[in-house]
A and B are shown apart, each in its own frame.
Chain A
Amino acid sequence: MFGKVLVANRGEIAVRLVRGLREQGIASVAVYSDADRSSLAVALADEAAYLGPSPSSESYLRIDKLLDAAQRHGAEAIHPGYGFLSENAEFADACRDAGIIFIGPSGDAIRQLGSKTGARKIAIGAGAPVVPGTEAALRDGAEAKIAAGKLGYPVLLKASAGGGGKGMRRVDREEDLEGALRDASSEALRAFRNGDVYVEKLVLQPRHIEIQVLGDQHGHMIHLGERECSIQRRHQKVIEECPAPILGQFPELRMRMGDAAVRVAKAAGYTNAGTVEFLVDADGNFYFLEMNTRLQVEHPVTELVTGIDLVEWQLRIAAGERLTIQQEDVRWLGSAIECRVYAEDPEQGYMPSPGKIVHLREPSGPGIRLDSGVYEGWTVPMEYDPLLAKLCAWASTREGAARRLGRALAEYSLTGVRTNLGLFREILVDSEFLAGRLSTSFLDEFFGRRQTGPLSAEAEAAAALVLTLGQKRGSDEAQRPVGNVASRWLADGRDGVTR
């Protein structure tokens, strides 16, 4: 096993990895940009290496600086986390060439699966069902029209190098095709420096369900079941869970999709942890979408129901150990739900909300796991993804997990930046969510039917009371808060927070 590992990431995942390394008795090296100098991950790590200015292009995306830091600190391996360089084949190759182990698949496997059309070919070869569509990039509008006509409208245009919804367009009618192709291609070119676009049949009311796989370097690979990730905004997941509610209707889906995922991953020569994404329609048909060649944001959901520590196995597999878990050993117990806490305002189109966290109170208690990357007083930088934390609940049933998550959300208080905590509180009691009727359009539909009750006058009065007393500054008319001599409450009052 390794003695020291560099964590080439930031935020909550860097904290998760530093924790995982410490549990294995491995020293950790955190890296940071200017904006992350006082980040939680840096504070919790054994060593810290400065990368550069805040923009990720000058820090977290700099292969040379990361390798230099790993060498200076004597790290034998690098864990890339998710995002940034985690799915970058050149980075994996550069690590190998520098004699540093990249904790993930080989550069070749990343390269093969990184292109959506390439991954489609592998999936077809491995006998996994794919959404009907073109395998190669479209040459022009005429070719697109023929292909879309064969598939039948509506169709979906997608960027070959894409992800995160960029370069993606739904087209309902032939007359809109050419314009949409132009838009998708130019957006793809801007986002990925590759304007290739292909066309697929649009699966209506799809669920987004993915399979976690884990494979060692000795040819042994298993799957750890599914995660349902249908609830998304801007094509990014916000709530994930296991088991997928649709398993109630089609219990055999887990093993069928799991087998297909293992076949695809094996065909690409994949090792370490990875995730195969599928679309699932209302009749239980599933279609290969893409493979994410890294640890997923939502991996805790799988860890909670299987009891298998994915980060631990990532490290052991990268160190050359054999995966000692057989497929038939994997058990799924109970239900886990995760919500991604973002610094963003759902009422303003999910506008990111960077800034200082004025006060923070994090939930805990039975069945709760919180993977957080922030602390009270920290400033959420504007340069990066606004994910603050992942709150997960486990219980023996889905209903129990939802109730538990709702309870934890009620305990979760964070002020200073806007968050989506309030939105989660509403979703967790939404009848459609509780019934497990999920699809990728869930959130849009939710906003259509939601009714936010006004806050009760009594709750409002409680807030006004605190502000009024805080403003009072030591007059004896009202009672002092108990046992707080050097109260930040009064200090805030003086600083004009309450004016």
Chain B
Amino acid sequence: MKREVLVNGETVRIQIEGGRLRYDRDGITPVTAEYSVQELEPGWFAVRIGTHMYRVMLGAKGEVAVNGRTLRMEVFDPRDLRAAGRRAANQGRQEVLSPMPGKVIRVLAAVGDMVELGQGLVVVEAMKMQNEMKSPKAGRVAEVRTKADATVSAGDVLVVIE
């Protein structure tokens, strides 16, 4: 079985065949190993890759945690054309979402700006606290989908970085 995995905005190929796995990302040596997976509790897995154990927990949509660290990860079937389109659209792009309802105080970036990892993009006030939404990666601001004084809901896309 071959799938493509979009992990933190980057596409990786995964192949699973007869108890062996190949995880192939550009620029690094592919991981090829025998594996086993046990679901110990609903949503909580002990995964063996070769001789190493990892603890994997399913998260909210598009998120998974491994050894407690959360990754944004989605799996696509490369034969699925709709998914391929979505993946292509998402390739290398990362959306900065509002994690909760609030009000936009300031927008700190404009379309076309080059931003650094961790650079502030939008200031949102929620729960009486002002929070700076930071860039998840270095790149170019592709879209700004909000403006000052706008009211935002949880999950609203504020900015898109590519």
Contacts and interface: CB of A to CB of B under 8 A. Distances in A.
A497 B66 contact: no
Q: At the interface, is chain A mostly helix, strand, loop or mixed? A: mixed
A499 B62 contact: yes
Interface string A460-499: 1111111111111001011101101001110010001111
Interface residues of A, number: 61
Interface in A26-48: none
Contacts of A463: 54, 56, 64-66, 71, 73
Given A358-B58, A466-B56, A468-B1, A410 B131 contact: no
Interface stretch (B44-52, B103-111, B139-147): B44-52
A234 B57 CA distance: 30
Contacts of A498: 58, 74-75
Given A382-B101, A413-B57, A469-B37, A234 B129 contact: yes
A352 B125 CA distance: 11
Interface string A318-358: 00000000000000000000000000010111111111101
A484 B70 contact: no
B28 to A, nearest CB: 6
B75 A471 contact: yes
Contacts of A471: 3, 75, 77
A202 B67 CA distance: 41
Nearest to A356: B60
A283 interface: no
A415 interface: yes
A83 B130 CA distance: 21
Given A348-B134, A489-B39, A455 B71 contact: yes
B73 A464 contact: yes
A477 B1 contact: yes
Given A359-B43, A467-B73, A425 B68 contact: yes
Interface stretch (A6-14, A73-81, A416-424, A432-440): A416-424
B57 A359 contact: yes
B45 A352 contact: no
Contacts of B129: 234, 352
B146 to A, nearest CB: 15
B58 A478 contact: no
Contacts of B21: 461, 465
A477 B101 contact: no
B49 A410 contact: no
Contacts, number: 207
Nearest to B64: A463
B44 A464 contact: no
Interface in A352-389: 352-356, 358-359, 361, 382, 386
Interface residues of B, number: 67
B154 interface: yes
A459 B118 CA distance: 24
A358 to B, nearest CB: 5
Contacts of A478: 1, 16, 19
A409 interface: yes
B19 to A, nearest CB: 7
Contacts of B45: 466, 481, 489
Q: At the interface, is chain B mostly helix, strand, loop or mixed? A: strand
A351 B98 CA distance: 10
B31 interface: yes
Interface in B116-146: 118, 124, 126-127, 129, 131-134
A347 B134 contact: yes
A442 interface: no
Interface string A175-205: 0000000000000000000000000000000
Contact of B31 (A348, A350, A458): A458
Contacts of B60: 355-356, 358, 415-417, 497
Nearest to A234: B129
Contacts of A482: 38-39
A418 B42 contact: no
Q: Which of A413, A464, A471, A496 has the most CB of B within 10 A?
A: A464
A459 B64 contact: no
Interface in B52-98: 52, 54-71, 73-77, 83
29 contacts: A348-B132, A349-B131, A351-B133, A358-B59, A361-B57, A409-B68, A410-B68, A413-B44, A415-B63, A422-B68, A457-B23, A457-B31, A458-B54, A459-B54, A459-B67, A461-B14, A462-B54, A463-B54, A464-B12, A464-B23, A466-B47, A466-B56, A470-B58, A475-B1, A482-B39, A484-B42, A489-B45, A498-B75, A499-B75
Given A347-B118, A479-B19, A489-B58, 9 more contacts: A361-B44, A458-B49, A459-B67, A461-B23, A464-B23, A471-B3, A489-B43, A497-B61, A499-B75
A-B complex: 3 closest residue pairs judged by Cβ atoms: A415-B59, A481-B39, A488-B42
Interface of B: 1, 3, 5, 7, 12, 14, 16-17, 19, 21, 23, 25, 28-29, 31, 33, 35-39, 41-45, 47, 49-50, 52, 54-71, 73-77, 83, 99-101, 118, 124, 126-127, 129, 131-134, 154
